[in-house]
Structure 1
Amino acid sequence: MKAVVFDGKSLTLKYDENYPMPTIVNDTDVIVKVEYSGVCGTDLHIIQGEFPASKERPLPLGHEFSGVVHQVGRRSIFKVGQKVVVDPNRACNLCNFCRDGKYQYCLTGGKDTIIGIWRDGGWAQYVRCPEDQVFALPEGMTTEQGGLCEPYSCITHGFDRVSPLPVGTKILIIGAGIIGNLWITTLHVQGHRDVTVSEMNKSRLDIVKGLNTGYRLITPDVLGVEKQLYDVIVDCTGVGKVMEISFKYLNYGGKYILFGCCPPTHQASLNPFDIYSKELTLIGVKINPFSFPKAIGLLKAMGDRYLNYEKLGIKTYPLSSYQDALNDLKTGKISKAVFKIE
């Protein structure tokens, strides 16, 4: 089968037309025929050697994907032909974190099981998945929309972490890549209107403008001049220095959501006195524990109004054009690249 394969030892990618097809191993396995598979910022960090991934053997990346059930084990609850999405993350289910319902903190289960990072992922025509990581899409939802389920599941976890978030809260979104755009659409569909979006790339601000939310769109230099304070700040850049600067714009009692995937080498200096005197809250958001059902519900509610690929700045590519996809993403021409797999 066709796949884009990552070699963790040499940090290289290649397009392989003869990658081995997956086969059923366990009675509850599901083989998914992939239709849409996203390129995440984490993938870029992995390719650049900034984020850990498997080095045992070359394998397809891709932890955001949707498709159709192609084959199932004899005890699986799924049926061939069902439209599905896949949660790439799982847990050991034995440690105290997992048994307390917080598998995002698991120190063992995730390390060698995450689909698309430690196991064969969705940058391929077919993927073998444990059925407990597979979710059926509801009637009326397309696999194109479902291709956004994994990043939206992370957003829903972040939303839960920052809640309560009353309508009328003064919110600042920093970074208008795809994650910023998904936060923008999530806030808008839930009634938030006092939202400012800061992005240095003006072409990305134009993409946000096309979402027709009416949100205030500015460049980062405006933040420094205005010195306005915000009740909630969502960092979608994953850049330590950006956090260091923007943390100063929190209002008394404010909450700062560190959402962008920040490389382990980044550092940021914060003033503890400010945290104390203003009673500030710093919220980290890691993956998507048990939030896929919420994300599917959110996607169903959003529909075409918010999930239009073109309006979100998403461009689709065949697997063979993976280099074009990565280049366009790095230059900021698009907010997200998604492989549309035939």
Structure 2
Amino acid sequence: MTETMKAVVYTGLDTFEVTQVPQPTPGPGELLIRVEAAGLCHTDLDILAGRYSAQFPRIPGHEFAGTVVDADSIYQGCIGARVAIDPLIACHQCRNCTRGYPNLCTAGQAYGAERDGGFAEYAVVRQENAHNIGGLSMPVAALAEPFACAVNALERARLAPGMKAAIIGAGPMGMILSIALRGWDVHDVTFADRIPERLDRARSFGATHTAIVDESITDVLPTADFDLVIDATGRPEVVQDAIRLLADGGTLIPFGVCPPGSQINLDPFEIYRRQLRIIGSFSLNRGIPGALRILQRSDFPLQELITTRFALDAGAETLAAIGRADTIKIQFDPTITPAAQ
């Protein structure tokens, strides 16, 4: 008789259910993970709304950690390991993969999109996608995926100790980017946001300066002053204004996901004359080990980044909580029951 498990299942555009589904079995080169923490991000809403490519029905969830409870015959020694999951699956053969960009694999897939992910009691993953978390708690280990996205961006930025940085948007990824910057000895970090509560939180995670924004970020932050500016809002008008904050030789990372087809105006002469850099950064690029090192070494109260944890049964409530001002990271804990929340 086939064993079943509880899971959040996207059954189609804008429709999902919490239901019993067959428990997966690991195939060749795969591990069965008992999921103990699974984070949510806005991409999970985008998948449900059809703004991000996925196949339905699908168990979402690409930020998760858990314990290996079964494996194919080759990897039986992995049973009992505590791991965080890299959700990206690359072919390792296309031009992008061979150039060092498996995150841009032309045949790439991801757990939570093309393959079932972590919003379930169990998940099957490839052994190479599972990374030992050491002594980290499961909730903190499940932050490895978003931290790895930050690592990808910051590695591309060619950071140097002592740089002056500004982060626009003090939401979950803004907090994570700020913490990750410390790994490059960048400690002068200014935050700008429209919500005072988020700036209060940013100060508790080491922000050296904060600015409340009413209309434009250039009204509250000095122009031509920052070596690094990161947009974590995904709003084209903010990216447009962020260019003006850059000091000569500065770098802008439009990290937030702007709507496809949106546009900004650039003065190519200014880019040339002031030697500015605007760099893209998509998802993570083999960065889970680096992210885990940051999490293991950080002095910040990382557990406080996780503001709410839900049982799987609370699917609708959990998805509705994404982006609220009183939350940073939200997670499912498939090991708890609704009464134990």
Fold shared per TM-score above 0.5: yes
Does the alignment pair 1:146 with 2:141?
Answer: yes
Counterpart code for 1:180: G
* 1:77 positional shift: 6.1
Deviations 1:244-292 (A, max 9, x none): 1222221211100121233324332222222122111011111222222
Q: Counterpart of 1:285 in 2: which secondary structure?
A: coil
Aligned-partner Cα distance in 1 for 2:99–2:154: 20
Aligned counterpart, 1:44: 45
Aligned-partner Cα distance in 2 for 1:243–1:214: 21
Does the alignment pair 1:205 with 2:205?
Answer: no
Aligned counterpart, 2:118: 122
* 1:219 positional shift: 1.8
* 1:19 positional shift: 1.5
Aligned counterpart, 2:35: 34
Q: Counterpart of 2:291 in 1: which secondary structure?
A: helix
Deviations 1:153-205 (A, max 9, x none): 11111111011x22321211011111100111122454333211011122211
Aligned-partner Cα distance in 1 for 2:257–2:82: 29
Q: Counterpart of 2:153 in 1: which secondary structure?
A: helix
Deviations 1:1-31 (A, max 9, x none): 1111113x43222211x122111222x2101
Residues 69 and 78 in structure 1, CA contact (< 8 A), matched pair in contact too: no
Aligned counterpart, 1:320: 313
Aligned counterpart, 2:332: 339
Deviations 1:68-107 (A, max 9, x none): 0011000126422110111000211111221222212221
Question: In 2 relative to 1, CA 77–306 (structure 1 residues): closer, same or farther, beyond 3 Å?
Answer: farther
Aligned counterpart, 1:93: 92
Aligned-partner Cα distance in 2 for 1:301–1:24: 33
Counterpart code for 1:331: R
Q: Where does structure 2 lack aligned partners over 5 or more consecutive residues? A: 336-341
Q: Counterpart of 1:61 in 2: which secondary structure?
A: coil
Aligned counterpart, 1:22: 24
Deviations 1:123-145 (A, max 9, x none): 1110011111111222x222222
Question: In 2 relative to 1, CA 228–78 (structure 1 residues): closer, same or farther, beyond 3 Å?
Answer: farther
Among all aligned residue pairs of Structure 1 and Structure 2, give the percentage whose two residues are the same amino acid: 30
Matched residue count: 328
Aligned counterpart, 2:338: none
Residues 82 and 132 in structure 2, CA contact (< 8 A), matched pair in contact too: yes
Equivalent residues in 2 for 1:245-256, closer than 5 Å: 245-256=241-252
Aligned counterpart, 1:166: 160
Q: Where does structure 1 lack aligned partners over 5 or more consecutive residues? A: none
Aligned counterpart, 1:76: 75
Aligned counterpart, 2:254: 258
Does the alignment pair 1:241 with 2:212?
Answer: no
* 1:329 positional shift: 2.2
Aligned-partner Cα distance in 2 for 1:77–1:299: 28
Counterpart code for 1:171: A
Aligned counterpart, 1:195: 189
Residues 176 and 335 in structure 1, CA contact (< 8 A), matched pair in contact too: no
Question: In 2 relative to 1, CA 287–244 (structure 1 residues): closer, same or farther, beyond 3 Å?
Answer: same
Q: Counterpart of 1:2 in 2: which secondary structure?
A: strand
Does the alignment pair 1:5 with 2:9?
Answer: yes
Aligned-partner Cα distance in 2 for 1:214–1:21: 44
Aligned-partner Cα distance in 2 for 1:214–1:89: 31
Q: What RMSD, in angstroms, separates the aligned Cα atoms of the two structures?
A: 1.8
Aligned-partner Cα distance in 2 for 1:188–1:72: 37
Question: In 2 relative to 1, CA 271–313 (structure 1 residues): closer, same or farther, beyond 3 Å?
Answer: farther
Aligned-partner Cα distance in 1 for 2:149–2:196: 26
Q: Counterpart of 1:47 in 2: which secondary structure?
A: helix
Does the alignment pair 1:185 with 2:179?
Answer: yes
TM-score (norm 1): 0.90
* 1:341 positional shift: 1.7
Residues 30 and 78 in structure 1, CA contact (< 8 A), matched pair in contact too: no
Aligned-partner Cα distance in 2 for 1:330–1:289: 25
Residues 139 and 306 in structure 2, CA contact (< 8 A), matched pair in contact too: no
Q: After TM superposition, what 4+ stretches of structure 1 lie above 4 angstroms from structure 2? A: none
Aligned-partner Cα distance in 1 for 2:330–2:227: 32
Question: In 2 relative to 1, CA 12–266 (structure 1 residues): closer, same or farther, beyond 3 Å?
Answer: farther
